[in-house]
Chain A
């Protein structure tokens, strides 16, 4: 396939949503003769599905967090209601502070780097040089790999004694860094791996944002003698602001959820040096032979609240953009 056809097909992709489902799409004429009954008949499977496989697990989760479950009552289902005790236990836990800080650092730093590197690459690839679309496609690979593949590869690369990263550092005359096993570096290590995984997503979305910016503006700027640095900060960046907002907010929702990478690379350790809320919740629920489902569900519910706050801001911003 020539580079040109790939370019084209993507630019006029039929999958690009023209109308947002339901939320803000224009109200269209209903097809004549099809009633509400038919409409809901088509929706019934998904509604039942949502109720059984989303609502039920979530309700079960709230139920877990407000009852004093033990392993035994977990199976028998007769745990006493203890209100918010699990939550206060979670707040009082010595892990709470570090987990909160780690979650904020992990999310904030990951997004800052993913976004700026993704933006730089999007602008770079937008120059349309020979091979550009092929190389851009290759950039997608890290995002498509199973997370366990990426995480275990990074684990081995960052291995203290035999890892390639430390080998390079030693060659350059530096001291060996215990990436995954020292409290100072564990969080940095999982952040590095997560940035690597997130760059393609940012690149693709920002690139498609660039495609929607009119070329005339750049021509005018070039005629006025603007250099590329000025063009980026005065034209590209302001015009990309809506897409950037969406990219960052979606990034927030996704990054808060990250579990696999951290669990496989460090298991949240050493100690709780790289424990985020997602990790903490899993540790409590599944990490030991003596699970404490109540606190695990309580941490999980805190995480849902954080994700939903970001999610609602995202939906608000998107709605505003749709209206303007």
Chain B
């Protein structure tokens, strides 16, 4: 307990102030093991960055250099020159998916959590099952439908398809949170003459801010990372996503691995930013729906 509170400034204060010397050394040993394990786990990410900075001439040397001794930014120049439109499309599709997901799942969750609709249990069940359907199969169905409707290669078609990844999850998260909002709060709004819609918008939604962040975060990340829907529903249009950009890169010029890895690094930025900025929401999202209290 006492060691956990330490802001981890270094081994000194831990062993000196809060615990005995022996326990401190043990703690330090554990930290060292932890750092080593983390380094092993993150090695592929280090390697991605290392390769992204390696000049093309040294790409195939054996053994490969473990550090970017003569780093080049050629890879990143290629990203800026060739991949910016892809990144833009992904951003647009990601944000669109966030909007669609929250707009659909928040009202549904409010109803499931607070308004006790008949058949709500069955609907929750359908949503849970929906999460289990493999994406490849959904893609096939979407392809057949989009082809007949003539909406293949539209970015908003991709938004709709991507949102199927996040809507069931969104309803689950919102419902779990909204169930905990005291009924009195809503009764009070009702006494003040607010309609159900008004109550939802001005009472329930503001309180559910944190859940909205969690849902939005995952919706964005899933849409940003999606490859299956992009490659089936949106592979021929003008606006293609970054995952498809990387995929094309691998297929076309497989000598230029620094450009490929540089694109991969850039494509990882949203995930990294979200993890740094919203770590607690991420952990909450992973556990929610899997573990009961």
Tell me which residues across on chain A come within 8 A of B37, comparing CB atoms. 121, 124, 135
User: Residues 104-117 of chain A: 1 if any B CB is under 8 Å from the residue's CB, otherwise 0?
Assistant: 00000000000000
Q: Residues of B within 8 Å of A, CB-based: how many?
A: 132
Q: Kindly identify which residue among A9, A15, A246 contacts B176, using a CB–CB cutoff of 8 Å.
A: A15
Structural contact, B176 and A58, CB atoms closer than 8 A: no
Structural contact, B282 and A144, CB atoms closer than 8 A: yes
User: Residues 94-132 of chain B: 1 if any A CB is under 8 Å from the residue's CB, otherwise 0?
Assistant: 000000000111011111111111101111111111101
Per the 8 Å Cβ criterion, residues 231-267 of B in contact with A are: 231-232, 242-243, 246-247, 250, 257, 260-261, 264, 267
Structural contact, A156 and B257, CB atoms closer than 8 A: yes
Per the 8 Å Cβ criterion, residues 28-50 of B in contact with A are: 28, 30-31, 33-35, 37-38, 41-42, 44-45, 47-48
For the complex, give the distance between the alpha carbons of A58 and B137 in Å: 8
Which stretch from A90-98, A179-187, A300-308 is at the chain B interface?
A: A300-308
Quote the shortest CB–CB distance from B91 to chain A (angstroms): 13
Residue A10 at the chain B interface, CB threshold 8 Å: yes
Q: Kindly identify which residue among A144, A164, A243 contacts B64, using a CB–CB cutoff of 8 Å.
A: A164
Residue B78 at the chain A interface, CB threshold 8 Å: no
Structural contact, B247 and A31, CB atoms closer than 8 A: no
Nearest residue, chain B, Cβ from A215:
B1
Structural contact, B293 and A17, CB atoms closer than 8 A: yes
Known A60-B144, A281-B137; judge A21-B171 contact (CB<8 A).
yes
Tell me which residues across on chain A come within 8 A of B160, comparing CB atoms. 53
Known A54-B133, A146-B267, A201-B286; judge A128-B260 contact (CB<8 A).
no
Quote the shortest CB–CB distance from A64 to chain B (angstroms): 6
Quote the shortest CB–CB distance from A212 to chain B (angstroms): 7
Which stretch from A44-52, A216-224, A225-233 is at the chain B interface?
A: A44-52
Interface residues on A, range: 35 or more
Tell me which residues across on chain B come within 8 A of A199, comparing CB atoms. 41
Main secondary structure of the interface of B (DSSP, over half): helix
Per the 8 Å Cβ criterion, residues 297-318 of A in contact with B are: 297, 300-301, 303-304, 307-308, 310-311, 315, 318
Structural contact, B27 and A15, CB atoms closer than 8 A: no
Q: Kindly identify which residue among A14, A125, A293 contacts B34, using a CB–CB cutoff of 8 Å.
A: A125
Quote the shortest CB–CB distance from B213 to chain A (angstroms): 9
Tell me which residues across on chain B come within 8 A of A156, comparing CB atoms. 47, 51, 257, 260-261
Q: Kindly identify which residue among A46, A128, A144, A155 contacts B271, using a CB–CB cutoff of 8 Å.
A: A144
For the complex, give the distance between the alpha carbons of A311 and B129 in Å: 7
Tell me which residues across on chain B come within 8 A of A171, comparing CB atoms. 63
Per the 8 Å Cβ criterion, residues 182-238 of B in contact with A are: 183, 186-187, 190, 196, 200, 210-211, 214, 221, 224-225, 227-228, 231-232
For the complex, give the distance between the alpha carbons of A247 and B291 in Å: 8
Structural contact, B117 and A208, CB atoms closer than 8 A: no
Nearest residue, chain B, Cβ from A242:
B292
Known A17-B288, A57-B138, A278-B136; judge A45-B107 contact (CB<8 A).
yes
Structural contact, A56 and B141, CB atoms closer than 8 A: yes
Structural contact, A30 and B3, CB atoms closer than 8 A: no
Nearest residue, chain B, Cβ from A58:
B141
Tell me which residues across on chain B come within 8 A of A154, comparing CB atoms. 44
Pairs A-B, 7 closest by C-beta atoms: A57-B141, A17-B176, A22-B124, A146-B225, A39-B117, A42-B111, A15-B284
Q: Which residues on B are within 8 Å of A, measured CB to CB?
A: 1, 3-8, 11, 14, 27-28, 30-31, 33-35, 37-38, 41-42, 44-45, 47-48, 51, 59-64, 103-105, 107-118, 120-130, 132-145, 147-148, 160-161, 163-164, 167, 171-173, 175-177, 179-180, 183, 186-187, 190, 196, 200, 210-211, 214, 221, 224-225, 227-228, 231-232, 242-243, 246-247, 250, 257, 260-261, 264, 267-268, 271-272, 274-275, 279-293
Q: What are 22 inter-chain pairs, A to B, with CB distance below 8 A?
A: A15-B176, A15-B281, A22-B120, A31-B186, A42-B117, A43-B112, A43-B117, A53-B164, A56-B141, A74-B144, A130-B14, A131-B31, A140-B275, A146-B268, A147-B225, A149-B48, A149-B246, A149-B268, A162-B61, A167-B63, A246-B291, A300-B134
Given A13-B283, A282-B139, A293-B140: 14 more A-B contacts, CB < 8 Å: A6-B279, A15-B177, A15-B211, A18-B293, A22-B123, A23-B128, A42-B108, A50-B130, A129-B3, A140-B279, A152-B264, A205-B291, A208-B283, A304-B137
